[in-house]
Structure 1
Amino acid sequence: MKLFNFKKEPQTVIVCIHGFGQRQQDEFIPLVNYFNKYEVITPELYDIHDPRDDEWVDWVHRAEHVLDEAASQGKRIILIGFSMGGVLASYCASKANVDKLVLIAPAFEYVNLPNATGFVTSLFEKKDDTPSSYPELPPNFTITFANLVNNCKPAIEDIHIPTLIIHGSDDDVILHTSSKKFIKKIPTEEKSLITIEGVKHRVLDHPIGGKIALENIRLFMNNKIVVKNQ
């Protein structure tokens, strides 16, 4: 009797790295709901209630720990980063055992004005007059954010895995031209930039743009779109 040795496909896990803001993991609620058949992990990078949690390396280590755990279990890792989390995800993807990388409105170039105290923080918080149920970010976290971005963004030149960048054309926090500039720095040929028209910074929250983004992520994960050099 002939025996067949079927190789078991590794389990896919989606790791989502949140941005700099009050909502933290809640930025990914639409994604978690969309990919409800997958294991989705959204680590908390910082303790918003503790102003002393302001070391950027600690924020990085929390993301790395989750990726190391998934890799040690032999899982296929899809790494997704939003805004500041996109820069951090790029750094992690240059080092960890990541299969594919998705960057949503990555904050490689986050502001063109002087970095006054609290200025960057105000960019990433709610801009309307609706009362927020989230605590305010400690003002000193702004410097931590800037240090993380400045230290992690050079790693984009060391990414050698398939990468998809999604950015809104009307992003008023991170201009979409930033992604057009930085995708050229990624050395792999398997990369693509999708610009979603009429969408601002919080891509996944947009009723139409969010669906477009999630569908493209699904296709990218499953090798059903052709990823071309930009």
Structure 2
Amino acid sequence: MKTTTKNQTIGCLCLHGFTGSPWEIEPIAENLRASTDWMVETPVLPGHAYGSFSIQNRVSYITWIHAADRAAKRLAAACSTLYVIGFSMGGLLACYVAARYRVERLVLIGTPMEYINPVQFLKDTLLVAIGRARGSLHPWYGVAAEKLRTPGWALREFQQAARVLRPFVGKVSCPVFIGQGEKDGLVPVRSAARIYKTVQSPVKQFVIYKSGKHFLFHGPHLHETVKDVRLFLTAKQINSENLMRTIE
């Protein structure tokens, strides 16, 4: 009987968020592809499309879970070591994967154990509105406009996904890096703090980026976030003590 031998390499699965695409985690994915010989996979979740911030086709939240599971299963079968990076809803999917497969290291960025930071969300909305009124659109106007057009059925699927996936956060036992923007209008800092307390990992790092918004890999802390995640994933040995810090 013929047996399949795994490649002695690392596989890194990168999962994007709700109404997003691999663009959201592209900077870290491209950095790892350029600096390592890892297999870095960035699948597009069902109903989504690259470069878009809206749901393209009507799908069930179950298809998002199945897609993440299939991608993890393929990568785990091909590689000797599996790492997972999850952004926003992709972070909840990443926790699900970490609970089901032998994930050696896990990265969670802007993951919604809770969602909507009302004060910051209002500030961001006002900035976009003021810019539009003055005829000088805010850089994120297009993103905000697309997200505000998200259909009700899609929002309900997201809420269902969050409800089903959150319990898997408490089943995470591998080393974990938690990154959170302090000025994230969609996911509040308390969400990341809750994840930090909930995961069962003996080794966990929690970094707050003071000027960071939701898209940490595309904001003012782009370089710090990429550097921190890369160091966490590539370090031969991770500090065994829990680490919490804030990046100005």
1:182 Cα deviation (Å)? Answer: 2.0
Of residues 88, 92, 96 in structure 2, which corresponds to 1:91? Answer: 96
1:229 Cα deviation (Å)? Answer: 2.5
> Which segments of 5 or more consecutive residues in structure 2 lack a partner in the other structure?
1-5, 48-54, 119-124, 130-137, 244-248
Structural RMSD (CA)? 2.6
Alignment-derived partner of residue 70 in structure 2: 65
Secondary structure of the residue that 2:178 maps to in structure 1? Answer: strand
Of residues 196, 205, 214 in structure 2, which corresponds to 1:192? Answer: 205
1:46 Cα deviation (Å)? Answer: 2.1
TM value normalised by structure 1 = 0.81
Whole-Å Cα distance in 2 between the matches of residues 145 and 158 of structure 1? 21
Q: Which amino acid aligns with 1:212?
A: E
> Which segments of 5 or more consecutive residues in structure 1 lack a partner in the other structure?
1-7, 114-122
Q: Which amino acid aligns with 2:223?
A: K
1:196-220 deviation per Cα after TM superposition (whole angstroms, max 9, x unaligned): 111111100014x111111111111
Alignment-derived partner of residue 42 in structure 2: 42
Secondary structure of the residue that 2:57 maps to in structure 1? Answer: coil
Secondary structure of the residue that 1:75 maps to in structure 2? Answer: strand
Q: How many residues align?
A: 209
Whole-Å Cα distance in 1 between the matches of residues 217 and 240 of structure 2? 21
TM value normalised by structure 2 = 0.76
1:131 Cα deviation (Å)? Answer: 4.3
Identity of aligned residues (%): 25
Structure 2 matches for 1:1-230, cutoff 5 A?
Answer: 10-21=8-19, 23-37=20-34, 38-47=38-47, 48-51=55-58, 53=59, 55-111=60-116, 128=138, 130-131=141-142, 137-207=150-220, 209-223=221-235, 225-229=238-242
Q: Which amino acid aligns with 1:14?
A: C
Is this contact kept in 2: 1:71–1:77, CA < 8 A? yes
Whole-Å Cα distance in 2 between the matches of residues 71 and 39 of structure 1? 11
Whole-Å Cα distance in 2 between the matches of residues 167 and 91 of structure 1? 19
1:191 Cα deviation (Å)? Answer: 0.9
Secondary structure of the residue that 1:10 maps to in structure 2? Answer: strand
1:50 Cα deviation (Å)? Answer: 1.4
Secondary structure of the residue that 2:29 maps to in structure 1? Answer: helix
1:31 Cα deviation (Å)? Answer: 1.6
Is this contact kept in 2: 1:171–1:201, CA < 8 A? yes
Is this contact kept in 2: 1:20–1:85, CA < 8 A? yes
